[in-house]
Each structure stands twice: as C-alpha cells, then as structure tokens.
Amino acid sequence: MAPVLDGLGEKLAEKWMSALAAPGLLFMGAAAAAAVLGHGHALDAGLLRERAGQWAAIAGHWPVVGQVAALAVAVLASVAVGTFVRTCAEEVAVGIWAGEWPRWGDRLAARLLERRVRRWDGVQAEIDGLRRAAEAHVRRDPDRRRIDELAARRDRMVPARPTRPTYTGDRFAVTDSRLRGQYRIDLATCWQPLWLVLPEETRAELRASRARFDAAVAGSVWACCYAVLGCFWWPAAIGSVAAGLAAWRRGRRAAAAHAGLVEAAVDVHLRKLAAEVGVAAPSDAPWEPRLGTLLNRLFRKGA
C-alpha cells in the first residue's frame, strides 16, 4: 500500500506544482520586477540584479527558520494566486468562451453573432448555388471540388448555423444539436448514464481533451492578469498579448477536439447504453430515433 500512496503523492505534487505553484511563482516574479523597474527602467537588468542581490543579502542574515518561513510564504502565495486564476477560469469557460455572456454584454454578443451568421450564411449560400447548378448538369467536377472546399471552410467556422457569439460556444452547442437531430437524445440528460458505460480508455481521452481546453481557458485568465500588470511594467503587456493569442488558438483546437470526441463517444456507445438499460434497438437498423425519445424519458424519470 505504501508504494501506491507514495506514487499517488508524487503525481499530486507534480500536478500541484505545474498547475498552481509554477505559474503563480512566475507571475509573482514578474510583479516583483514591475515593482522594482516600472516603466522608466523596464529593461534595466542590472538594476534588477542589484536589487535581487540586496534582498538575498538581507535574507542571508535571517535564521534558518525565517528563511524556510519566507520560502513557504512565497510558495503559498503563488498557490493562492494560481488557485484564484483556476477558480476564475471555471467561470470564464462558461461566461465568455461558451458564449453565455452576462446581460451587460448582450449588445456586443448580438453584433458578434450577427457577423458570424452573415459569414456562415454567405458560404452556405454559395454551396447551395453550386449544388443546384450541379444537379441541373450545368457544371460537373470543377463545381464538386469547389463545393468540397467551401464545405471545409464552412465547417472550420462551425459545422452548423451559428447560435453563439463565440466559436467555442457554437462548437459545443452544435454537438448537442447534431446529436439531437440524429438520435433525438438530450445530451445533458443522457451524458452521465452514457459515461458509466464508456470504456476507461475513452473516458481517459475525454478527460484529457477537457483538461487541454481548461488549460487554454486558464491561460487566457493569466493573460488578463499580465495585462493588468502591464499597466505598471510594459513588458508584461507584451507577454499578455502573446499568452492571450496562444490561449485563443489552443482553446479553439481543444474545443473542437473535445466536441468531436463527445460526438464520437455517443455515436459508438449509445447502442450499448440502450442495451444496458433494456431499451433494445432493431438489429436491421444502425439506430432507431424513437429510442432516443425513450432514453430521454427514462433518464428524466418520467418528468
């Protein structure tokens, strides 16, 4: 039992350091540099080394207990900052990335959604026009290749007509609407029972993809923290822009990957869920849409 607990402790410590302590220590170091240098001496490495040497000399005269206490306070402070950012990231994931904006952002959300819908409708209209021409035998292969190119461009925006002001919000919402249209299931109602019948490797992959998305959202919150620090030390503002762009790109890729995995998990394992709860599907059909309605009713407990 002891080796198992030791291994678990090492994994928890590694996760704790990578997720909370390390980013917090980096931010505290940047904050200390901002306090020393400010805008006037923003890139003065000599001044920073001199001030760090003075602090180290002062700490060197402290007793060992005092030095250990100072180190513990620094680590705990960095963990507190990291925990605060992680907590904010959970709300940011729902409130901003998923497109569920507060009321004061309704006007901006409406404008962004209108812009996204206009772009998506324009591409879809071109696809529909080319398809009508192909059906009328006006044009053949060149149009089919163009249709494929436009369809890929449309799907990069979002596979269905946008309903949210953000790409990630639309990507998650489209997964729900596509599954509802295909199987007539309510994903929010059926997901937890489906999770129980998923193989462990599938669940591990879903957790990993969700963790990548959460890490990208946390990165965007860190970028905002560095943007605030940039008001006092301008190199932090440059770092916030780079971190924000990286988080945005990573978040879009992670959201698309996670939504695709959720949809694939339903496609592959929904029949297994139906069999586990005694709702049998006909053997001569891939899926009977009425079964989705039965599963919804079953897991809603008749509500």
Q: What pLDDT, in 10s, does the model give residues 208-232?
A: 999 999 989 999 999 999 999 999 9
Q: Which pLDDT band holds residue 303 (cuts at 50, 70, 90)?
A: low
User: What pLDDT does residue 90 have?
Assistant: 79
Q: What is the mean pLDDT of residues 30-56?
A: 84
pLDDT(207) > 70: yes
Q: What pLDDT, in 10s, does the model give residues 88-136?
A: 887 787 778 887 777 777 788 888 889 989 999 898 888 888 887 766 6
Q: What is the mean pLDDT of residues 71-81?
A: 83
Lowest-confidence pick of 56-65, 105-114, 139-148, 156-165:
139-148
Q: Which of 202, 183, 162, 135 is nearest to 291 (CA)?
A: 183
Report the predicted TM-score, pTM, of the whole model to 2 decimal places: 0.81
Q: What pLDDT, in 10s, does the model give residues 153-186?
A: 888 888 888 888 888 988 898 899 889 988 899 9
Lowest-confidence pick of 81-85, 187-191, 270-274:
81-85
Look at residue 146 and tell me if it is in a domain.
no
Look at residue 232 and tell me if it is in a domain.
yes
Q: Which pLDDT band holds residue 29 (cuts at 50, 70, 90)?
A: confident
Look at residue 125 and tell me if it is in a domain.
no
Look at residue 119 and tell me if it is in a domain.
no
Look at residue 143 and tell me if it is in a domain.
no
Q: Encoding tokens for residue 101?
A: 């904006």
Look at residue 252 and tell me if it is in a domain.
yes
Look at residue 107 and tell me if it is in a domain.
no
Range of the domain at 212: 2-99+166-299
Look at residue 150 and tell me if it is in a domain.
no
User: What pLDDT does residue 69 have?
Assistant: 85
pLDDT(5) > 50: no
Number of domains in the chain: 1
User: What pLDDT does residue 2 have?
Assistant: 37
Q: What pLDDT, in 10s, does the model give residues 239-291?
A: 999 999 999 999 999 999 999 999 999 999 998 898 888 876 655 566 777 78
